[in-house]
């Protein structure tokens, strides 16, 4: 077998002029990065001074107003998501009978109020419906805000609107 000859002292593959050019380009790159960092630091300091000035004057910062609006919308969506819809609908269904027809349900999750529009066969049926809602563990403050006896109908049904505040369930 033949001996392997390794030459670890072989000359560089770049001539000395190229080495100096690469060293110069590296120095220029470092200078540019340093200059850009200094410029960014100066701009950040200027923005912080403006922000402190706005905070002292009571004027909201430009991004803060948008963030507050986004936060309000997020809280509204969260409130709608945690509302016990199924339980509320079951409570309304349990309170009504054949003499009452629920025409619409309009929830206000911010105030925790459910508006119910409907029609009852007569005033006694309507008052019984309101009583059953009040006795439900899901509602409190059931208020009749509108009622009208329909004289154009021979059976004289009562069209009504009521609001009920729903309670928090553990």
The contacts of residue 24 (CB under 8 Å, 6+ apart) are none
pTM of the model: 0.56
Q: What is the pLDDT of residues 126-135, one digit of tens each?
A: 999 999 999 9
Measured from the Cβ of residue 59, the count of other Cβ atoms closer than 10 Å reads 11
Residue 48: partners with Cβ closer than 8 Å, 6 or more residues away: none
Q: For residue range 68-119, what is the model confidence (pLDDT) as tens digits?
A: 788 888 887 887 777 778 888 888 998 888 999 999 998 888 888 999 999 9
Q: Are 81 and 133 in contact (CB under 8 A)?
A: no
Mean pLDDT of 142-150: 92
Sign of CA dihedral 102, 106, 109, 112: negative
Burial label for 146, CB within 10 Å (0-12, 13-18, 19+), is exposed
User: Looking at beta carbons, which pairs linking 140-146 to residues 24 or more positions away fall under 8 Å?
Assistant: 140/164, 140/165, 140/166, 140/167, 141/165
């Amino acid at each position: 077998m033949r001996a392997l000859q390794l030459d670890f002292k072989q000359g560089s593959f770049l001539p000395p002029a190229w080495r100096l050019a690469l060293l110069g380009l590296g120095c220029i790159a470092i200078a540019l990065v340093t200059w850009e960092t200094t410029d960014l630091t100066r701009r950040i300091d200027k923005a912080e001074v403006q922000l402190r000035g706005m905070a002292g004057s009571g004027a909201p910062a430009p991004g803060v107003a948008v963030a507050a609006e986004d936060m309000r919308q997020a809280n509204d969506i969260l409130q709608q998501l945690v509302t016990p819809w199924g339980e509320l609908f079951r409570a309304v269904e349990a309170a009504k009978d054949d003499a009452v027809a629920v025409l619409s349900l309009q929830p206000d999750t911010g105030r925790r109020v459910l508006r119910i529009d409907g029609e009852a066969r007569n005033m006694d049926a309507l008052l019984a419906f309101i009583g059953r809602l009040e006795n439900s563990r899901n509602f409190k403050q059931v208020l009749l805000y509108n009622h009208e006896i329909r004289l154009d109908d021979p059976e004289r049904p009562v069209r009504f609107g009521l609001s009920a505040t729903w309670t928090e369930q553990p």
